[in-house]
Structure 1
């Protein structure tokens, strides 16, 4: 369909007031030479009807179907007709599955020798015609159409997500609220996403000043709950309660990091600007020789010892300047820069970085800026979702200390046991669409929850025994007239028996890493290796170490010191500047990093993604491999943009381990995984028959899987002879010096 026909026709029928990205997607579908509208525009509706509705172009399904039919009448071809679940390919029928895709995988279909098996035969029908190249082309075309539809759905989802999370920069709110209780009572609320109920009939009381940790499995609704709270969608949150949800990174522009944080205090910014204007006006009256000209930001320049402005020919301006000075003092405007700098320094921004434009930083660093802004604003309720994911160990330790002194209410989602233990006064467990509150940190929760589960099982078993006993009596004497009254009383007793609360146990997570082929040492050796990026200083000098299939190390050190660079040197993604790296040609290295999670094609489902990454492999093999990382059943067929962060991580693990690596290079592997998934990862790594080298700040993961710590300091990589707890203590001691 020519662009000069498709776009005008579409805009005339649906308008252009909706999301332009969705409009572009629909135009691209219409311009596809192989696109078929179907009879009455049915296939057009399947391809983009719902997307036009969700994108704000159309009011509902009926209007969408009518518009698709009009498009078919105006732009369609004569051959557009109905599509059935059996499609006639050259040479005979081809069975389509519930997704309207060919049920025979392309890797099993070879022109000239493969026969189509019908669902009605136990054995392949030997006399069925062979599948030709033309049939294969039609299969490929059908899959391309399906993928195009999935990408349009992804675009619509991303547009909705951006709209839901977009908002103005956080602002310090002063002189708001009442003198009453600041506790939050959230009663009888439910939370759903895409029609699926995630939380049902929950009640929570959040006491002001306490710090709550929210835990639960990936995909159960933790992030959705935080979003609902931040948007005041839950009954019980007053309008004057300021809530900040640190979810999106700061938009990169020419604003410096320090300015991006200070800009949250809009009252301070306005007062300083007014101060400068009043000073300029008063100085102009006194002439160009006034020594007090242009001292707007650091201190009140033209005030006497009592804070009053010096005499002036404009008494009104002088009086207003006095009021401005007083208010600046009240809000500690002149100490704001120091407070912002302390927060940024704690999050590993050195003075030079604080003066750089936000656009020069990666997404992870801009997330730190977003966190710094929230800490600087100090909202009534601060919502943090996995705040340690983008931090190094130094910043995590600082954040723990900072949040322990947090003066207001904190609600945090985290998978890090030590962080939850250090910060939280209470733990809220999201399980089976219910929220259960536990007093104490994570260790206390773990013990209490285990005891509660044991007691619930005992109570359920006892109740079940009693029910069976009563039921046996009823069954035995049901037709005995002499005992009719006793039977009736037992029936009533059975009806009165209260249902005992039962706990639905989660299915066990699995991380089964494939067993690699044994490779005799030496596998990899560094000899006097140095490295530096082109035009920059050396990051490493004279590195000497080796790795084999029994190596188990964790690399520790601050961000920017070169930990990820070292992994890239080992994997071969970077080449040494000097020295020599020897690699056994038989060794296979697999690198897992946040890059692999961010690089997933979210429009595809996990099975499609694996099939695209490794062509000519049977889908059943991929299903089995995905299942070894907990992506099985419907999850393997679910579009990846609908998966949680932890589920996406497991898909990335499945991809990087497909070729049975000898050594795993893991860069923050526990990010986005829930606590149960981290435990499964630990078990999987302990059973893995190859080497493991990881960069992580997750103490529990490190202590459970590796034998030794490597500390990166001063361009060297040296063993740290001590435990992870001792390394943390060393960092804290260095910080105090």
Structure 2
């Protein structure tokens, strides 16, 4: 009877190349960085003030804040691409920093190949060594001589993420590292970060990555960066509370007309469409409530022991629906947080 059974096709799992983030060989004496009363900005205009922070080798920092709050400015400062305007900034002379950000992807020459790019990073290595390293990054022989404009966004991001860590830096600064990565690649990046033994500053809207990597949170807000006492749920509440407060602020009150007119009136300021952003935030909050209620209802059904004993098929179906509902909940939660952050940013510009 076994011989008469039809052959079963084997399932071939698609291999996802790991990220290679080598840990620093020689740890530095703490702290890696110390900022005391530091200000930083551009053209003598400070973006961040009163920075009093310390970073050690084992720190995993999640940097929170709405767009425009100064997160990228802080990344440039820490990476050494921006000098402080004032204050005391202590930084080890032997500190090696690996810095990944989206502008690196945009700045790639579209006619370069991965082999051209790695030649500049590994000028003294043999061609075979370069090709072998690219293969470790998940770029096989059919990709190494493909031009950048023919690579996917995920392939470009994977290449650059591995290259910024090539020299085993003491500190990795990752600014939105998962924007172009699929689910399996995000998991591979998480595994690599958990094995990496240096310090990490993570800037991301990927809540799950933030929760699984960061052990401390810093918040960029009100022109400074300071430790945030709370978790991602507390941050979500902070953002929505700030948005609600901004919505109540009397931003449209007109000043009294002066008796004399010393100067011609300034050109009218473009009105910021806060209503659209507010409605989007409210809609996202309602969707989040519905998704939460759906998960709660399924959890309640799955706690009934009769479901499993009397109708196993129904129990299995409920389990599948619970998984789908959880995915929908996580998506709704992220959309809600993005909408509220966008609303707060619009209110700041109003």
TM-score range, shorter chain: 0.5 to 0.7
In terms of Rg, which structure is larger?
1
* Structure with the larger RCO, 1 or 2 (CA within 8 Å, 6+ apart): 2
Q: Following TM superposition, by how much is the alpha carbon of 1:512 offset from its aligned partner in structure 2, in angstroms?
A: 1.9
Distance 1:621 1:547 in 2: 35
| 1:710–1:520 distance in 2 versus 1, CA, 3 Å | same
**Paired residues for 1:127-146 under 5 Å:** none
| 1:620–1:657 distance in 2 versus 1, CA, 3 Å | farther
> 2:59–2:216: 8 Å Cα contact kept in structure 1?
no
| Residue matched to 1:565 | 73
| 1:659–1:692 distance in 2 versus 1, CA, 3 Å | same
Q: Following TM superposition, by how much is the alpha carbon of 1:728 offset from its aligned partner in structure 2, in angstroms?
A: 1.4
SS in 2 for 1:631: coil
Structure 2 unpaired stretches of 5+: 246-350
| Residue matched to 2:148 | 640
| Residue matched to 2:208 | 700
Distance 2:49 2:197 in 1: 31
Q: Following TM superposition, by how much is the alpha carbon of 1:502 offset from its aligned partner in structure 2, in angstroms?
A: 5.7
Deviations 1:543-575 (A, max 9, x none): 111222211101111111110000101111111
**Paired residues for 1:292-691 under 5 Å:** 469-470=2-3, 497=6, 503-517=11-25, 518-534=27-43, 536=45, 538-691=46-199
Distance 1:521 1:535 in 2: 31
> 1:513–1:685: 8 Å Cα contact kept in structure 2?
yes
SS in 1 for 2:242: helix
Q: Following TM superposition, by how much is the alpha carbon of 1:501 offset from its aligned partner in structure 2, in angstroms?
A: 6.7
| 1:619–1:660 distance in 2 versus 1, CA, 3 Å | farther
Distance 2:84 2:124 in 1: 36
| 1:620–1:661 distance in 2 versus 1, CA, 3 Å | farther
**Paired residues for 1:203-282 under 5 Å:** none
Distance 2:24 2:205 in 1: 27
Deviations 1:85-126 (A, max 9, x none): xxxxxxxxxxxxxxxxxxxxxxxxxxxxxxxxxxxxxxxxxx
| 1:654–1:619 distance in 2 versus 1, CA, 3 Å | farther
SS in 2 for 1:637: coil
Q: Following TM superposition, by how much is the alpha carbon of 1:666 offset from its aligned partner in structure 2, in angstroms?
A: 0.9
> 2:102–2:176: 8 Å Cα contact kept in structure 1?
yes
| Residue matched to 1:348 | none
Deviations 1:135-186 (A, max 9, x none): xxxxxxxxxxxxxxxxxxxxxxxxxxxxxxxxxxxxxxxxxxxxxxxxxxxx
> 1:597–1:649: 8 Å Cα contact kept in structure 2?
yes
> 2:19–2:162: 8 Å Cα contact kept in structure 1?
no
> 1:509–1:676: 8 Å Cα contact kept in structure 2?
no
Distance 2:94 2:120 in 1: 25
Structure 1 unpaired stretches of 5+: 1-465, 471-492
Distance 1:632 1:661 in 2: 25
TM-score (structure 1 length as normaliser): 0.32
Distance 1:563 1:639 in 2: 32
Distance 1:513 1:535 in 2: 36
TM-score (structure 2 length as normaliser): 0.65
Distance 1:585 1:696 in 2: 28
Deviations 1:42-79 (A, max 9, x none): xxxxxxxxxxxxxxxxxxxxxxxxxxxxxxxxxxxxxx
Distance 2:38 2:186 in 1: 34
SS in 2 for 1:635: coil
Distance 2:18 2:59 in 1: 23
Distance 1:641 1:519 in 2: 39
Distance 1:733 1:628 in 2: 46
SS in 2 for 1:673: coil
| Residue matched to 1:712 | 220
SS in 1 for 2:61: strand
> 1:629–1:653: 8 Å Cα contact kept in structure 2?
no
1:724 matched to 2:223:
no
Distance 1:706 1:639 in 2: 35
> 1:523–1:547: 8 Å Cα contact kept in structure 2?
yes
How many equivalent pairs are there?
244
| 1:546–1:632 distance in 2 versus 1, CA, 3 Å | farther
